[in-house]
Amino acid sequence: MVKNYAERVYRITGHLPIPRLKFLPSLLQKYTLKAWATPEPAPVMVGLVPMKTLVSAAKGEKPNRTPIWFMRQAGRYLPEYQKIRAQYSFLEVCRDPELAAEVTLQPMRRFDLDAAILFADILLIPEVFGQSLRFDKGHGPVLSPPMHADNYAESLLKLDVAEHFGYLGQTIQKVKRELREDQALIGFAGAPFTVACYMCEGSASKNFINIKNWMLSSPVSFLHFMHTLAEKTASYLKLQADAGADTLMLFDSWGNHLSPKLYEQYVLPSLKWLVAEVQKTSGVPVHLYIGQDSSRLPWVKEIKPDVLAVDWRADMQTVVEATGGKVCVQGNLDPGLMVGDWRSKKELLKAEIDQILTAGSKAKGHIFNVGHGFIPQTDISAVEFVIEQVRAFDG
């Protein structure tokens, strides 16, 4: 099995995966790995066990260096990812544990990162409601048939989460075997309202007419749908934690399309329940990404995530002050600063990094990241520069 996996990865990517040479003495393994992987920084230690800096920061324990990872760090800006995608579709990669593990690990081999994030998609979960998912070229994700009040009841007894998404657990286990002990693996899902937007509209939308119509014309049915989706998402995230995910992240990107009043009435209850349920059943920290909607900052105290991730358009100092410095923050560099002729704006980039790190140091904890996912034009050398600056700031 191991031999076949290595051969398959080599055929696709042109290099072998990082080995786990358990049969060698630990000292020999340490030096053997140097021929396969990027140089390892000295691990932060707790007793005799390397501490995962990202998990420590999420818990507010103030590790001696700022953990760093990037949203969409595995993706189209990497040539090794492009090589795999030339042979397999996006969903084929997501559903194949060997391919998904390989893609998840690609940025870990290139960069000095503190965490990997599972290669998957927030729109896998609608499959358990009987919706099919495809990605049309030039159009993005398409879910069919669209969910609405009339067909919602028919979708309730479709698929079992644990059974249907077993491949995600396999991917997580493969990735965990390859990570260093001080590196974390992040699992994730879409928050209920964001996923519901796609489910109801059938694809991306600028006005979200269908979901708003259901919400306002059949509020009881809609609230039931939101809670059911939250329950399925809780099971989906627990599966990931049980398989070995060290933290779990919820992406709530579309909440800014509702007024604060509607958000509080129709979205907040299921989101609060979901965060609390996942924290209770998984036992791992939960990140919440709220996108560019700073209007939801006052509700963070009610939602109680362990980590609050914010968009690059938010001022980190304002975020820290609004949350009273009582929650770990994540973010929030503008990914657009790492494209094109980024060297001409190197001083601006460095100043932005320093400003974010200074503000983040006043929070309960800080995880450095971009404020939105990497875009395909991201320059690899710019990523390396950003990581160097974060490490230099910590001294």
CA distance 101 to 9: 10
- Report pLDDT for 308: 97
Which candidate, 293, 174, 187, places its Cα nearest to that of 233? Answer: 187
Residues of the chain predicted below pLDDT 70: 1-50, 157-158, 395
CA distance 125 to 236: 8
- Report pLDDT for 6: 52
User: Who contacts 195 (Cβ-Cβ below 8 Å, separation ≥6)?
Assistant: 122, 123, 125, 126, 189, 229, 233
Torsion region of 280: left, alpha or beta (phi above 0 gives left; psi -120 to 50 gives alpha): alpha
Q: How many CA atoms lie within 13 A of 215 on its CB side?
A: 21
Tokens coding 282: 């998984």
- Report pLDDT for 24: 32
49-69 confidence digits (pLDDT tens): 468 999 999 999 989 899 999
- Report pLDDT for 150: 83
Tokens coding 72: 């969409």
236-279 confidence digits (pLDDT tens): 999 999 999 999 999 998 888 898 899 999 999 999 999 999 99
Task: List the Cα angle 123/129/132 in 5-degree steps.
Answer: 55
CB 169 within 8 A of CB 239: yes
| Domains of the chain and any CATH numbers | 2-394 (3.20.20.210)
Tokens coding 390: 């974060």
The secondary structure of 283-327 as a DSSP string is -S-EEEE-TT-GGGGGGHHHH--SEEE--TTS-HHHHHHHTTT-S
- Report pLDDT for 295: 75
pTM above 0.85, yes or no: yes
Which candidate, 363, 359, 369, 257, places its Cα nearest to that of 309? Answer: 369
Q: How many CA atoms lie within 13 A of 388 on its CB side?
A: 9
Q: What number of other Cβ atoms are within 10 A of residue 223's Cβ?
A: 16
CA distance 157 to 153: 9
CB 94 within 8 A of CB 100: yes
- Report pLDDT for 136: 80
CA distance 176 to 168: 12
CA distance 42 to 379: 27
- Report pLDDT for 166: 96
**Helix or strand run (H / E) with residue 335:** none
- Report pLDDT for 1: 47
Which candidate, 378, 305, 264, places its Cα nearest to that of 60? Answer: 305
